[in-house]
Amino acid sequence: MAPSLRDIVSQATSFISQLPLLGGGSDSFQPPSDVSFYDPLTSGPSCPIDGPVSCHNSTPIAEPNSCCFVYPGGKILLTQFWDQQVHAGGAEEDWTLHGLWPDLCDGTYDQFCNMTPQYHNITAVLEQHGQHELVQFMDRYWLASSGPNSRLWEHEFNKHGTCINTLAPACYGDSHKPGLEVVDYFQRAAALFRTLDTYHALQTAGIVPHPRKHYPLADVQAALEKYSGGKVVLRCGGRRDVLHEAWYVYFIRGSLQTGDFIPAQDRGGKEEDAGNCAPWIKYLPKRHPRGADL
């Protein structure tokens, strides 16, 4: 069986910000210490360590500081799927990556913004920049429900990545080469995903896949929010009683390329409405593909 996300991330060190939590709360947050910080390939924006946090500025951000402040999509969601079936090369405990989304501060969102160019050859772009290991990781954990994975990657970057202002070519200065923004988007998404072992977080709370058992939604949400240190939105399928997605909510201090992800303490806005699960939910085991070797 292929190694699980927990096996992979246990070999590295954390990159999540250890800054004080935003929005109050007395409990201190100790981020998962299992993922190495991503060192960008580029000379992207060099940002002050005490700059404003996205969605928390008290005055407008002027040029050239806009390359160090994610706006207007300053609420960042790392979204994961609990797939119905074990995918090829995967494991029964795999949660998979859906996307990295820059929501507006009120929880609504823009899409296909063209703050960066759109790309239609994501695999080729990543490999051109030497990101072969990243492509392998994405083929393991960033999976399309149908069709080639590369089609999902293209959709996610063109719909969401192009709405992240710090990825604009101008923020790279003279060092910009086509595709560097693609590398930074997918590297940062993968690095953040590696810190969020949803299966392990639920397992630690005694919440494990079962064909018939129902769990209180509040318990599932509390387990993930205790683990991540921030708010989590849950989405369900079936009759709104089958756990299917987890959205982890963050703000950023600095640019997407090099900034700190800070767990949000309030879902707020439209994210609050996006959670659609019933009060009691099932967390179903994955099915094995017919004819798969067990």
- Known catalytic residues? 98, 156, 160
Helix/strand/coil for 218: helix
Contact 150, 142 (CB under 8 A): no
HSE at residue 32, side-chain half, CA atoms within 13 A, is 26
d(CA 210, CA 222): 19
260 to each of 82, 151, 189, 226, 291, how far by Cα in Å? 26, 29, 13, 19, 44
Tokens representing 273 are 């409405």
Find all residues with CB under 8 Å of 85, minimum gap 6, and list them: 286, 287, 288, 289
DSSP code at position 294 = -
The helix or strand, by DSSP H or E, that contains position 281, with its residue range, turns out to be strand 280-282
209 to each of 93, 175, 275, 294, how far by Cα in Å? 9, 48, 20, 18
DSSP symbols for 233-263 = EEEEETTTTEEEEEEEEEEEES-TTT-EEEE
Beta pairing partners, 234: 246
Contact 281, 40 (CB under 8 A): no
**How would you label 43-64 residue by residue, b for 16+ Cβ within 10 Å and e otherwise?**
ebbebeeebbbbbeeeeebeee
Distance of CA 246 to the CA centre of its chain: 10
